Amino acid sequence: MKKYISILTLSAGLLFQACTKLDQEFYSSVTPETFYKSEKDIKAALFRPFTHAKWYLGEDRWRLQEYTADNFAITTKGRHWYNGGENERYHYHKWTADDGWIWGTWRGTLMGVALALDTKNDLSKLDYTKFALSADQQQADMAQLDALISYFYLRGLDYFGGMPIFESLDQESLPRNTDQELFLHIEKLLKAALNNLPAKKTGDKEEGAIRKAAVAAMLAQLYFNAEAYIGKPMYEESRQLSQALINKEYGDYQLDPTWNGVHGFKNNNSPEIIWSMPSEFKMLEYNWFYADFYHYNTREYFSQDMGGNNGAHLTPSRKPDGTLYSSDFKLGSPFETFSAGDFRKSPYRYLGTENYEGMFIVGPHLSPDGKAILGGEEYNKQPLNFVDQVARFSEVGQGKKYSSVAQLPSKMSEGEENTGIRLVKVPIPNLANNTLRWGADMPVIRLAEIYYMLAECEFRVGDKTKAVSLINNVRKRNFKDNIDLNPVTTANIDKYRFLDEWSIEFIGEGRRRTDLIRWKAFTTENWWDHSPSNSSHLNRFPIPNQAIAGNNMLEQNPGY
């Protein structure tokens, strides 16, 4: 823990040395009482661990959740993206304790805890009245930091199981606590924070602060997945909290009336968002996603100036011959899981003045003025057409590797530059409206998740009717005149329909692996180019070898 803080302090010191000419006055030591001069300084300190949380929500954490599951893949595309077999290892559940995404996630989790503890240590020593702030405000700030520590540990519990529990910056090289001990620590912090944070009032905008409802939601999430975490079902506890959230007992939230209100450029105004990470132009919080998903020439599609790396896409719904995979496996096929008539299933198109439609890049790749966008690899100088398939169609023909489409294999090694449908969950404006770029905040918790958690809890205790009603209340906004063309019914609701609904509503929001594990499907089900391992130890990632090398008190997870 000290090591993380030392690295961060050193980085800050180097930054100031490079950018600031210091006055000829030096201090032998800096204490919170001498460093903090105003309320602005307190807020800056409080926000620092939240900027780490913003980073933590994306990149490697997102990749561990999504590329190991059934909705997304990074296929090898000719000479691109094999990456030493890394992408295939995650897809086939053959990762190792040396893989980078796993190390980045372990390290990032504990760095988040360290940053929050560091800030908490400083702010707890201050006399807030000297800054014209109340003791209640100080207590609320401490509660926000406890909730943020809980968030990092909750994610760490999900990825790794038990982790070392740090409660002070003086501790280092601690052994791992058990899953149960970490679960109880998270629960204790959240329950304490719940009593000391304000609730959202009607008309309040979401600005990134953790309020009472976000803490209640995290506690509900902890209980919701308790069976996977500690082997004890706690759906009733999650059900009670979820119902209370929907009843507005922890603040005034309601479902957004439009499908894209929670994801659009001004989503901080959405009544549905319980907690989000703020964003703004040029801060590039989503540039990792843009780079992973979009073709080099997709900038012409968006009428933008950013080129992508053309790696990731949805797993295919169709075989090379065009027939659906639906009879081959029950998971995956994410694009065709969306019903016909669903607003989200349309191709993405920016309409100007902050408006857009659709959520996917699919079919002929055209610029806003209708001009064909050309490829640069297998389809060099030919029009691009993004297909819901994975196969080397460019190698079919007379004198080529395959004489017919029927011979084409479909697997991780067989991608092309136009392989796979691309998700546009975060809207992209054109250059004319470029001040909107990255304007959409990153939702962490939204009320739709609470509806779905409550629905699943009700289903598990036998109330199918209520479960169906809760899901359909969310689904209907995605259809014209709120008329759902494929509603959930008491006849069709089961494990697989639930997994479909979680996939549809939260596609690309970095949670898929957790949902599969809760339904005991992560290691037991097959999907495109993935066979089940039936090895339950894979529900947890290994403790990175780099972490163990730095702390020989850490024990590896079973099975690795």
Say if residue 150 is in the same domain as residue 20. Answer: yes
Q: Do 316 and 412 touch, CB atoms closer than 8 A?
A: no
Say if residue 134 is in the same domain as residue 32. Answer: yes
Structure letter (DSSP) for residue 315: P
Query: What are the structure tokens assigned to 542, written together?
Result: 């290994």
Q: Do 191 and 212 touch, CB atoms closer than 8 A?
A: no
Q: Nearest Cα to 86, choosing from 75, 78, 72?
A: 75
434-449 pLDDT per residue, tens: 888 888 888 999 999 9
Q: Residue 64's pLDDT band (boundaries 50, 70, 90)?
A: very high
Say if 247 falls within a structural domain: no
Residue 509 is predicted with a pLDDT of: 96
Q: Nearest Cα to 456, choosing from 440, 474, 470, 445?
A: 470
Q: Do 177 and 163 touch, CB atoms closer than 8 A?
A: yes
- Provide the whole-model pTM: 0.93
- For residues 70-98, average pLDDT: 97
Residue 169 is predicted with a pLDDT of: 83
The residue from 437, 452, 475 where one domain ends is 437
H helix and E strand count, the chain? 19, 10
- For residues 287-312, average pLDDT: 93
Helix or strand holding residue 355 (H, E): strand 355-357
438-484 pLDDT per residue, tens: 888 889 999 999 999 999 999 999 999 999 999 999 999 999 999 99
Any idea which of 167-176, 239-248, 460-469 has the lowest mean pLDDT? 167-176
Query: What are the structure tokens assigned to 283, written together?
Result: 């801060």
Say if residue 556 is in the same domain as residue 412. Answer: no
Any idea which of 167-181, 335-349, 393-407, 454-468 has the lowest mean pLDDT? 167-181
The residue from 386, 419, 437 where one domain ends is 437
Say if residue 11 is in the same domain as residue 137. Answer: yes
- For residues 292-301, average pLDDT: 96
CA dist 524 to 20, 69, 74, 337, Å? 57, 12, 22, 20
Q: Do 74 and 81 touch, CB atoms closer than 8 A?
A: yes
Say if 52 falls within a structural domain: yes
Say if residue 300 is in the same domain as residue 174. Answer: no
Q: Nearest Cα to 154, choosing from 72, 92, 73, 210?
A: 210
Residue 202 is predicted with a pLDDT of: 76
Say if residue 140 is in the same domain as residue 19. Answer: yes
Say if 319 falls within a structural domain: yes
Domain carrying residue 374: 286-437
Identity of residue 190: L
- Burial class of residue 65 (count of CB atoms within 10 Å of its CB; 0-12, 13-18, 19+): buried
Distance CA 492, CA 21 (A): 68
The residue from 375, 402, 437 where one domain ends is 437
Q: Do 510 and 61 touch, CB atoms closer than 8 A?
A: yes
Partnered with residue 312 across adjacent β-strands are 74
Number of neighbours of residue 172 by Cβ within 10 angstroms? 15
Look over the chain and give the mean of its residue pLDDT values, rounded to a whole number: 91
Say if 66 falls within a structural domain: yes
Residue 316 is predicted with a pLDDT of: 98
Query: Structurally, how many domains does the chain consist of?
Result: 2
Q: Do 212 and 197 touch, CB atoms closer than 8 A?
A: yes
Q: CB under 8 Å to 375, separation ≥6 — which residues?
A: 295, 297, 381, 382, 383, 384, 417, 418
Say if 482 falls within a structural domain: no
- For residues 139-151, average pLDDT: 96
Say if 447 falls within a structural domain: no
- For residues 366-395, average pLDDT: 97
Phi and psi at residue 412, to the nearest 5°: -60, -30
- Share of residues in the chain with pLDDT > 70 (%): 92
Any idea which of 62-71, 270-279, 316-325, 407-416 has the lowest mean pLDDT? 270-279
Say if residue 28 is in the same domain as residue 163. Answer: yes
Residue 89 is predicted with a pLDDT of: 98
Say if 117 falls within a structural domain: yes
Q: Residue 278's pLDDT band (boundaries 50, 70, 90)?
A: confident
Identity of residue 409: P
CATH at residue 177: 1.25.40.390
Distance CA 557, CA 96 (A): 12
Distance CA 312, CA 335 (A): 14
Say if residue 297 is in the same domain as residue 185. Answer: no
Distance CA 24, CA 323 (A): 75
Distance CA 84, CA 90 (A): 12
CA dist 233 to 242, 244, 461, Å? 16, 20, 11
Q: Nearest Cα to 160, choosing from 238, 215, 95?
A: 95
Q: Do 440 and 261 touch, CB atoms closer than 8 A?
A: no
531-548 pLDDT per residue, tens: 999 999 999 999 999 999
Say if residue 18 is in the same domain as residue 143. Answer: yes
Q: CB under 8 Å to 413, separation ≥6 — which residues?
A: 75, 76, 82, 88
β-pairing, 312-314 vs 363-364, is: unpaired
Q: Do 301 and 365 touch, CB atoms closer than 8 A?
A: yes
Say if 341 falls within a structural domain: yes
Length, in residues, of the chain: 560
Number of neighbours of residue 232 by Cβ within 10 angstroms? 10
334-373 pLDDT per residue, tens: 999 999 999 999 999 999 988 999 999 999 999 999 999 9
- For residues 215-244, average pLDDT: 98
- For residues 131-144, average pLDDT: 94
The DSSP-derived string for 403-447 is SSGGG---STT-B-TTBS-EE--S----GGGGGGTT-S-EEEEEH
CA dist 493 to 3, 283, 457, 472, 519, Å? 50, 42, 13, 11, 14
Identity of residue 473: N
Say if residue 298 is in the same domain as residue 168. Answer: no
Say if residue 33 is in the same domain as residue 149. Answer: yes
Number of neighbours of residue 112 by Cβ within 10 angstroms? 24
Say if residue 139 is in the same domain as residue 16. Answer: yes
- Burial class of residue 436 (count of CB atoms within 10 Å of its CB; 0-12, 13-18, 19+): buried
Distance CA 289, CA 51 (A): 17
**Helix, strand or coil, per DSSP, at residue 101:** helix
Distance CA 134, CA 150 (A): 25
